[in-house]
Structure 1
Amino acid sequence: MPAHPHSHLPGPVQEAPSDGDDRRFSWYAGDHHIHTTFSRDAMYTIDDQVRRGQECGLDWMVITDHGGPDHQKLSVARQAPEIAAARERYSPLVFQGLEWNIPGAEHATVIVPPHERTVPFLEEFERRWDGDILAAASNPAGPRLLRHSTEGGELARRLGLEALAWMCAELERGTVDTALVLGNHPMRTGRLDPSRIRQWRDAAPGVFVGWEGAPGHQAAALPEPYSRARGRGQYDEFPGPLSFPGYDVDQYRTWGGFDAATARVGGLWDSLLAEGLPWWITANSDNHFDHMDTVVVGEPSRAFYEEHGHRGVPVQTGTPQHGYVDFAPGFYSRTYVGAQSRDHRAVMAALRTGRVFVTHGGLLDAIEARVRPGTGPGASGPGVTFGSRLRIDRGDDVHVELLLDPASVPNGAGEVPRVARIDVIAGTVTGRVADADADLFEAPGTRVVETFEVPARARGRQRFEFVLRGVADPLYLRFRASDGRHCRDDGHPLVDVIGDSDPWDDLWCYTNPVFVDVG
């Protein structure tokens, strides 16, 4: 296949410390949700995907092909040498992972670093706990109720928790030294109840650490004939008999390309943060087929996949395929991690601690918060950034500094994006609720407490500051930026229109929170 046409996107953004900041980390761009020919519904080779990720400026990538009986038996082992070859050939750090079919729920990324037991660990986890495999074994001739449906009931819920307990036990045993789980497209079907998310987090703290704040498939809402005229991210379902009854129809849509659980101020994500729970967001491509690509699946038959564990090598047709809804890894969606070094485990450590911001369409090169006790010149130390906690005495002021590096190169649409506004969102941390199984999905006290308008001609690093005075209660701060082209008068994102949402005309950046603890 030809080289990716947009190879001018920025690479790793190096830290530029502010005065007195002695921290040492750099921002590295990545994608933890990428499919290959080893998925039964995708087509690119591992070499294709890693090469394209490098061309789009990625520093790390996770190969996450769909779990299932054939993938478990054949694909995991057959992927490994191709991933090893790609590591030698290209610059991005490449992880071998898996898209886990959580019993009775949605999907999740499983990430494991290079290790001599990575392959057997993934194979065993998938064999024991993949929802497709469990469903086929439990009812081979009928409905697979343990797969993605809440019809699986309490059995499916229990199996998901047992899977996480098994993973944690294997980590304690030293089968592999570390692993991460991140939920994928959480609100797409509306069948993921809030209590289950809390149960996953509690069952595997430091392992199941967050979800996609923005799903892939970002070209899906372009109108026909250029795409499928679906919901952005393929978020176009409606409430039904299997849905969690508390969600309205807008919960099933993206808001400015982001999952409603993340984009809704005072929504589900904020309800977790208001309990003081570390729960992080990412953004990824979920790449299967590039929008308007001219290649097709090399071996489309189910029988070939069942025999070989992959779908062959893509075949060039020379004709754009109008049904493809994805962007290449790094071409549109990026997850930036603040890692202390450029290696697999440092990237995982940054994901685990939440030192992350995410962007669409190259909206900006970098953003960073530095939150300190004190006011102005009296603010002390380098402060803390995304995913960290700051401890203050009751009544102290909190100084917030935001550093913005505007976009410096054209994005995939051929324009240099411009940040129009940055919002500071704050919520009170009220602590864990007494009933850990409660289906809480609102934090009504969360609100925008400050907005910065970014000058239209801003070039180079921009600095914004404000002070929270006399802080009496624990809180968290999170930040978002937008190009301002599609938002409400108050700056909040609009709900994306099915079949008519241009992803390049509605760009956002979200960060993970900073917690402020009060002593």
Structure 2
Amino acid sequence: MSYKKLLLPSALVAALTIAACGGDNEPQSVVPPLPAGRWIAGDLHTHTTQSADADVSQTLDKILSKAFTSYGLDWMAVSNHLRVSTRDEKGATLAASIPLSLGVERYEIPRVKALQAAGTYADKLIFSGFEWDMPTHDHIGIGLFDGAAASTKGMKEFEYLFTTRDPAMFDAADVAAWKAKYGETRYNKTAADALQAINWLKQNYPDSSYAVINHPSRNKGSYTIADFRAFNDAAPNIMFAIEGMVGNQMEPDRGGYTAAYTDDNAPLRVYGGVDYVVAKLGGPWDALLGEGRRIWNLTDSDTHFKIVGGNSSGYFPGEYAKNYVFNSATGAPALKDLLAGLRSGKMFSVYGDLINALDFNLASKDDRKEMGGELKVVAGDKVTITIRFKSPARNNYEKPVDSGTPANVKPVVDHVDLIAGDVGAKATPGSAAYSVASNASTRVVKRFTAADWKLDADGYYSVTYETTASKNQYFRLRGTNLGVDVAGLTSGGEPLADQRTGATDNTQRFNDINDRNYRSLWFYSNPVFVSLR
């Protein structure tokens, strides 16, 4: 494939159309315009006091206020651990432990409904999901819905079938119905049981559920790439995302990734706060994309508490990590539209508000596709890649941390990498290729800096790039505020493993962690595919 950089005036980039002009008798082809809509920011992975490992002060009201009032999110999933609940949504201790599904039904959903009925967060999308301890693996974030709301009926059945919860904790009539349906069988021990849960979602909630792999490399041996392939093969409409940009960023070991810093454990680190699965150029994510799999990257807060006593864990929802999903509908986000947006892949993820809007599209002479899309071309066709992004006036960096005193720092993108990889056949289960976790074709095609992009009148920085289609490929973006070679942080443009921040003094450590995180900001786009027809 040959590449040629093409810089256009910003006014032209903003309304880019590409016409193929042949002979006098050949009609012009015009690229369709970009669809109207807006980016809506949110978080799929949050905890409240109903998770036992969250602080008692992490009430539902507090988390909603932080997410929507303090940090301006548009949507959020409350996703407590699918374990027993010992507290209600206010943090009060219950007389007896109950399954989370009952806690969601009795406390979480009624409180959200009451707030929204009274006009609080009425323009926000708030829904309940859960984080499941997947047998033989790690955590997976699940949502399952009936219409416009979480299905508590489905949650209860899932919790009974796929955990070790004592049947006596559930309603006797429900248990009798489940036993009539499944016999005495429950699926809570083996890898086959884990896969059964994905199949159960497909059978019962084929178009209204999701299963996102959370912090995939945090614990050694939790997942193999063959696991990711098997989950996606079983239900590509449900297992379509990996939490590559992990939460728990206030941990001394960024993201809570505490494995020893050895070569053998390199995949168990975060790199610029990003899991190895996504951060490694040509690594596991690129291996999956190289099969044409529609598996997207996400970021979340994984909030449990920020700073309590001598411990720190994660930022609040929207404070540091944001997922931006494109929403074509007007007004308050609807659950069906959010699910469609998540599945589509038209989204990007960012730390520290490095950017807050991204137009990344590929255009041929008569078509245009955005993130998650597939541009079909003929070999030899010219493809124009357009990158446009915005950054806010300042982010949520406080100094000292949690002081309420803004550092008044405007995030500035140092460079954006255009990354490409070849797309081949999908690996067959049981084959050697099914366990391959790399894509040797993946490379940085071009590194753009401020010398390349132009500022539009509407506040977007814009650059275009032209290439000639010669094979099936995908293109994706990675951007950072860091230079190409920053001691301890980047080398040759690649992020280095984050080191432990371990000052003995609590206050110093908390501030060091916060400074570390805001010094190292990243965004990742989802890919656009190019296929020869």
The bucket for the TM-score relative to the shorter chain is 0.7 to 0.9
Residue in structure 2 matching 1:402, options 384, 387, 391? 387
Residue in structure 2 matching 1:445, options 441, 445, 457? 441
Contact 2:417 2:477 in 1 (8 A): yes
CA distance in 2, matches of 1:497, 1:117: 39
1:18 counterpart letter in structure 2? A
CA distance in 2, matches of 1:157, 1:207: 18
Partner of 2:271: 255
Partner of 1:290: 306
Output aligned runs, 1:316-331, within 5 Å. Answer: 321-331=309-319
Residue in structure 2 matching 1:270, options 286, 291, 308? 286
Output aligned runs, 1:349-498, within 5 Å. Answer: 349-373=340-364, 379-381=365-367, 383-413=368-398, 414=407, 415-436=409-430, 438-454=434-450, 460-469=459-468, 471-485=469-483, 486=486, 487-498=489-500
CA distance in 2, matches of 1:195, 1:491: 29
Aligned-pair distance for 1:115?
4.4
CA distance in 2, matches of 1:59, 1:159: 35
Partner of 2:112: 83
1:382-416 deviation per Cα after TM superposition (whole angstroms, max 9, x unaligned): x2111111101122121101001123234323211
CA distance in 2, matches of 1:442, 1:195: 12
TM-score for both structures, normalised by structure 1: 0.78
Contact 1:406 1:458 in 2 (8 A): no
Whether 1:160 and 2:154 are equivalent positions in the alignment is no
Whether 1:187 and 2:187 are equivalent positions in the alignment is no
Secondary structure of the residue aligned to 2:419 is: strand
Whether 1:34 and 2:46 are equivalent positions in the alignment is yes
Aligned-pair distance for 1:157?
1.0
Aligned-pair distance for 1:84?
1.7
Aligned-pair distance for 1:27?
0.7
CA distance in 2, matches of 1:128, 1:18: 53
CA distance in 1, matches of 2:228, 2:394: 38
Partner of 1:306: none
Pair 1:61–1:116, CA change in 2 (3 A): closer
Contact 1:365 1:408 in 2 (8 A): no
Contact 1:72 1:127 in 2 (8 A): no
Residue in structure 2 matching 1:234, options 238, 246, 256? 256
CA distance in 2, matches of 1:100, 1:168: 16
CA distance in 2, matches of 1:204, 1:440: 20
Aligned-pair distance for 1:134?
9.1
Secondary structure of the residue aligned to 1:364 is: coil
Partner of 2:27: none
Whether 1:50 and 2:50 are equivalent positions in the alignment is no
CA distance in 1, matches of 2:148, 2:157: 15
Pair 1:279–1:248, CA change in 2 (3 A): farther
Contact 1:198 1:436 in 2 (8 A): no
Contact 1:422 1:454 in 2 (8 A): no
Aligned-pair distance for 1:171?
2.1
Secondary structure of the residue aligned to 1:180 is: strand
2:99 counterpart letter in structure 1? H
2:427 counterpart letter in structure 1? V
Residue in structure 1 matching 2:15, options 18, 26, 35? 18
Contact 1:213 1:281 in 2 (8 A): yes
CA distance in 2, matches of 1:355, 1:119: 29
The count of residues paired between Structure 1 and Structure 2 equals: 434
Secondary structure of the residue aligned to 1:200 is: helix
CA distance in 2, matches of 1:136, 1:464: 61
Aligned-pair distance for 1:85?
2.5
CA distance in 2, matches of 1:92, 1:110: 20
Which sections of structure 2, spanning at least 5 residues, go unmatched? 1-12, 18-32, 85-97, 170-186, 399-406, 503-512
Partner of 1:210: 241
Residue in structure 2 matching 1:71, options 99, 110, 119? 99
Moved more, 78-87 or 192-201: 78-87
CA distance in 1, matches of 2:15, 2:220: 43
Partner of 1:348: 339
Pair 1:518–1:331, CA change in 2 (3 A): same
Contact 1:483 1:506 in 2 (8 A): yes
Partner of 2:157: 124
CA distance in 1, matches of 2:188, 2:379: 44
Contact 1:190 1:239 in 2 (8 A): no
2:51 counterpart letter in structure 1? S
Which sections of structure 1, spanning at least 5 residues, go unmatched? 1-15, 138-152, 222-230, 241-246, 294-320, 374-378
Secondary structure of the residue aligned to 2:204 is: helix
Partner of 2:404: none
CA distance in 1, matches of 2:34, 2:78: 34
CA distance in 2, matches of 1:100, 1:136: 20
Whether 1:110 and 2:108 are equivalent positions in the alignment is no
Pair 1:481–1:82, CA change in 2 (3 A): same
